[in-house]
Chains A and B, each alone.
Chain A
């Protein structure tokens, strides 16, 4: 049995198809990264997994329980960390955790000692009596995660848990994820930061425009595009002046320009780079900076979609 299994999941809002076709799976005890740009359909997919939205097509299961046919059982095996902090600002950290624990059916001494443990995990034992409304963004996000861990779920889903927080809290959260995973929890981790997906995940599903366009281990995804290297360029002029000339150069597999920044995907940077400069000179364009990036998930995304995976 797979811990998470998503099969041809679909969701439309009226005529708009937010999720067109999503399939991926996670074995028990692994971290699955769901990577995609803004609006890719990640949160919509997660909402269907957590029983908030009814799929328009396909199905998904958590620990073998279908989210459409047996949602109660699926919810019991699942802890959900919503993308936006969902806590009661006028209750203390402890009161919040106690309340959410009760919603998962915990009571009495068992609940109280589990709350102590979770406070320890998220590093807020000292601040447990303070109202969540007075916490910093990073601390709120930690409580937001803690509230999903109380019932020791088999599967935890985290929707972009590190967006917009300080590096220290971010580190804390990433370490938490690894720790929980080592204890045997299966984690579905959504992000649009490719470094996070690369650091944490055993398998990665890349999502774009409502579709899962690639699924596999980090290394397998990189191999898929061969040995292509990414080159980032900044210009002193409009990229349009030279873009077509660059596209025609042999060894340029893809090229994309946004806000004066050009990103090219090339087979062999040593061979291609001088030609890029030649073409720029001919078009009277000056290259003001160059960056070379060995293959990574960013390059995979560029390769698959022709667009950069930028925030």
Chain B
């Protein structure tokens, strides 16, 4: 009973958190929607989205003797000016906070993104409250949420890259290998470039997405509904990516509770530590299930996606829930604080998602064999296989292999996570 109370409390908190809802439901739908509209405008020419007007104040500078060759602020700024987003974001520069705020008040722009002075230096030094300020027109709802998610992902990814490089360095040194530090700048730069390209795919280059659609598969007589099919896969990719994110983010509530002191308080009540942990795990599973259901219904209503036969849909969804919850619980069990958790989830899941093929499944002609082989080791890749089959109308029996592999992976990850958490708290 107390287990359910704890899980229910966690669900209530998630549904009240704008960030959680944004990442759980709004972002995947929005991103799918962008492609949908991009395609619509390419084919029919009359469906279009009103562009979000974004004003950027970039006061960031490169700290002296930095290994980076541009401040993080420049990367954030360029995201909004990139040609890949120009069909739905119109960006302009503002000299300072006052002018940007005035522009929002006058409704000249919908969102102002303000990068504070010395952002790079302060962020990389781990300062707690340095952040990019986002001010938005209160009459808009979706646009600002997307802009906020873009900034969060960018910043997390940069920090995640920093954390990763630092960890590798420490490992190497611990093993007596002296890393060649003159390589750092080029590593960070390569990482930055890769991330910029990746960002374009994630926020979908509308031209590229359209190209995929416009180039019909050879001998397309049998393609009944290429749009619906492509939408289904795209939406599945987004759903999987954000399901894994949701799994990790829900589990992160245990770190939040540790920091807020409520976990210690729970331990002072006559409630066993096993019940408390079980309640927290249950909340993760329930949240990911609910998210999947909401996204499937929304995808059906908004984009007309036929997810597949009931049996195969159930299998694909269960596989997704077990894997996403298992990996989320496992990842967070290694993380010490919520401050570390953001970058670990953002960076780790982005890389796994990419390797699992979540962002490249619409590339015409498919990806190279070697790349697809990597997907066989990635839970996201197997979840995607399940959905691909379901969307193709496969019978439930055909999903058994991906189902069993994914669930097995999920159970292994979950079990390791449980052991780690029990060692830590029980």
- What is A's interface to B at a CB cutoff of 8 Å? 50-52, 72, 75-76, 78, 80, 82, 84-91, 95, 99-100, 102-105, 107, 147
Contact = CB atoms under 8 A, between A and B. Distances in A.
B5 A102 contact: yes
A103 B264 contact: no
Contacts of B5: 99, 102-103
Interface stretch (B114-122, B131-139, B143-151, B267-275): B267-275
A85 B270 contact: no
A87 B261 CA distance: 8
B171 interface: no
Given A91-B12, A99-B5, A102-B5, A86 B265 contact: yes
Nearest to B271: A103
Given A91-B9, A102-B2, A103-B5, A86 B270 contact: no
Contact of B261 (A76, A78, A86): A86
Contact of B268 (A75, A84, A87, A99): A75
B262 A75 contact: no
Interface in B1-45: 1-2, 5, 9, 12-13, 16-17
Contacts of B16: 90
Interface in B252-286: 260-262, 264-272
B318 to A, nearest CB: 30
22 contacts: A52-B267, A52-B268, A72-B272, A75-B268, A75-B269, A75-B270, A78-B268, A85-B261, A86-B260, A86-B261, A87-B262, A88-B9, A88-B13, A91-B9, A91-B12, A99-B5, A103-B5, A103-B270, A103-B271, A105-B270, A107-B1, A147-B265
Nearest to B12: A91
B269 A52 contact: no
Nearest to A50: B268
Interface string B83-104: 0000000000000000000000
Contacts of A87: 260, 262
A86 B262 contact: yes
A86 B12 CA distance: 18
A89 B272 CA distance: 24
B237 to A, nearest CB: 31
Nearest to A87: B262
A75 B260 CA distance: 21
Given A99-B5, A99-B9, A103-B5, A88 B270 contact: no
A268 B141 CA distance: 74
Contacts of A100: 265, 269
B265 A80 contact: yes
Contacts of A89: 260
Contacts of B269: 75, 100, 103-104
Nearest to A80: B268
Contacts of A90: 13, 16-17
A80 B12 CA distance: 25
A84 B261 contact: yes
A82 B265 contact: yes
Interface of B: 1-2, 5, 9, 12-13, 16-17, 260-262, 264-272
Contacts of A80: 265, 268
Contacts of A82: 261, 264-265, 268
Nearest to B261: A86
A78 B12 CA distance: 28
A44 to B, nearest CB: 13
B261 A103 contact: no
Contact of A88 (B262, B268, B271): B262
B262 A72 contact: no
B24 to A, nearest CB: 16
A89 B16 CA distance: 11
A87 B2 CA distance: 17
Contacts of B17: 90
B271 A86 contact: no
A82 B12 CA distance: 24
Contacts of A76: 270
A52 B264 contact: yes
Nearest to B15: A90
Contacts of B266: 103
Contacts of A84: 261
A89 B1 CA distance: 23
Nearest to A76: B270
Contacts of B272: 72
Nearest to B13: A90
A52 B265 CA distance: 9
Contacts of B262: 86-88
A114 to B, nearest CB: 15
Given A100-B265, A103-B5, 8 more contacts: A52-B267, A52-B268, A80-B268, A86-B262, A100-B269, A102-B5, A103-B271, A104-B270
A241 to B, nearest CB: 43
Contacts of A99: 5, 9
A205 B321 CA distance: 54
A100 B262 CA distance: 10
Contacts of B1: 102, 107
Q: What 3 A-B pairs are tightest by C-beta distance, nearest first?
A: A86-B261, A103-B269, A86-B265
A104 B270 CA distance: 6
Nearest to A84: B261
A91 B352 CA distance: 34
A87 B267 CA distance: 13
Contacts of A50: 268
Contacts of A103: 2, 5, 266, 269-271
Contacts of B9: 88, 91, 99
Nearest to B9: A99
A86 B267 CA distance: 12
A161 B271 CA distance: 24
B263 to A, nearest CB: 8
Nearest to B10: A88
